[in-house]
Amino acid sequence: MGEYSKFISEVRRAVPTPKSMVRDDGICEFGTFDKEFREMDLVKLKKPTSLPDCFNRFKLSLWEAVEVNMKDGILLSAVCDMGLFGKVLSIYYDKATHKLYRWEGMLKSKETFVAGNLLGGSITEGAIKKGYVKFVNTFEDGICDVEGKQEGKEGTLEYSFRLTRISKPCVVSIPFGKNRPLYSQKDFFKAEGRLVINGEEKLSDENTVAIVDDHKGYYPRKAHYDWVTTMGKNVVNGEEKYFAFNLTHNQSIDQDKYNENLIWLENETSLLPPITFTRSPESKDFKDYSEWKIKDEYGMVDVTFKVYGQYSMILHALVANIDYYITFGELEGYVLDEDGNKYVLDGMAAIGEDKSLLF
């Protein structure tokens, strides 16, 4: 164990993954796990919310998303099922101009397909009139194939990538309440393929990488989470190697024991403690620039996220509110691994989310 390992709860150390996330008695398995779950039928949970269990399907949020970091830009694509409706979303961020291109469409929940697990070629797919997003998941072999095609007011987008795992997976089941889980699996991949935006083809190179985020959970009626990730290459023990991190703050009832903060290195990971976010200005007041400060209390995380582009989805209705911001930009600062090795982040591309829900 390294000098900073004392700041990491033992509950954050991965243990063997049970076959099912839901026990026979309807109780959820919580913790950090070493590989994919084979069964995650969270609808079978006993009393995950205050509503009768027959409403579980409508309270359960599901999605699979990918972020691909290329030389000239960043792609984010997702298929989401929010229980009452589905959504397909793709955003391309041009690093040079800071311009965002976005394509999105709504679906019926029953027409939105989010894979039950990430094994055996399982498929996540959302298809709308003017395009689709599709994932083929073979994570037992460290492979994910992602493709999409969309058109809209901002032109056309088409992409296809084969993703090959670089590091260990991050698999967590976080309690938001007594039997109320947030499951997340995030993986760091090398990406090979192509993207065509408005007729301009962009090919992958040796630095093209991706992160896939598989997500299932019961959010509280009033919820908020913050998230920042980066992926690319960094100097590791004097040599440039693949490097990424994930930083999230959400409704975990015990941030020390249950979080998903970590550094991905080649074939290994190093855990990070709970973190906090502050913003100037707040996302709702964003014009063309903002700064997010992300820190922990032990000196392992000291990150400034310089935001140059922001996608906003705002919905205020009688029974539901969504204030959702996806952000793109660059980092400054550093993170330390558990051995105290310092990784300088200056200039690395980053993606973030600032999301508040009432539903």
Q: pTM to 2 decimals? A: 0.96
φ, ψ (nearest 5 deg) of residue 166: -100, -35
Report d(CA 241, CA 206) in Å as an integer.
11
Domains in the chain: how many in total?
A: 1
| CATH number of the domain encompassing residue 170 | 2.40.370.10
| Token pair belonging to 131 | 């395009």
Report d(CA 185, CA 165) in Å as an integer.
13
Residues 6+ positions from 53 with CB-CB distance below 8 Å: 45, 46, 47
Q: What is the mean pLDDT of each run of 10 residues along the chain (359 residues)?
A: 93 97 97 97 96 91 97 97 90 97 93 96 96 98 98 96 98 97 98 98 98 96 94 92 97 97 97 98 96 98 98 82 94 97 97 90
DSSP-H helix ranges across the chain: 56-59
Which residues lie across from 342 on neighbouring strands?
Answer: 336
Residues 6+ positions from 314 with CB-CB distance below 8 Å: 322, 323, 324
The range of the structural domain enclosing residue 25 comes to 5-358
Q: Is 316 exposed, middle or buried (0-12, 13-18, 19+ CB in 10 A)?
A: exposed
Q: Is 342 exposed, middle or buried (0-12, 13-18, 19+ CB in 10 A)?
A: exposed
CB-based contact 172:258 (threshold 8 Å) = yes
What's residue 221's pLDDT? 85
Q: Which of 95, 93, 119 is nearest to 171 (CA)?
A: 119
What's residue 161's pLDDT? 98
What's residue 254's pLDDT? 97
Residue with tokens 């040796």: 206
CB-based contact 348:333 (threshold 8 Å) = no
DSSP annotation of 22 reads B
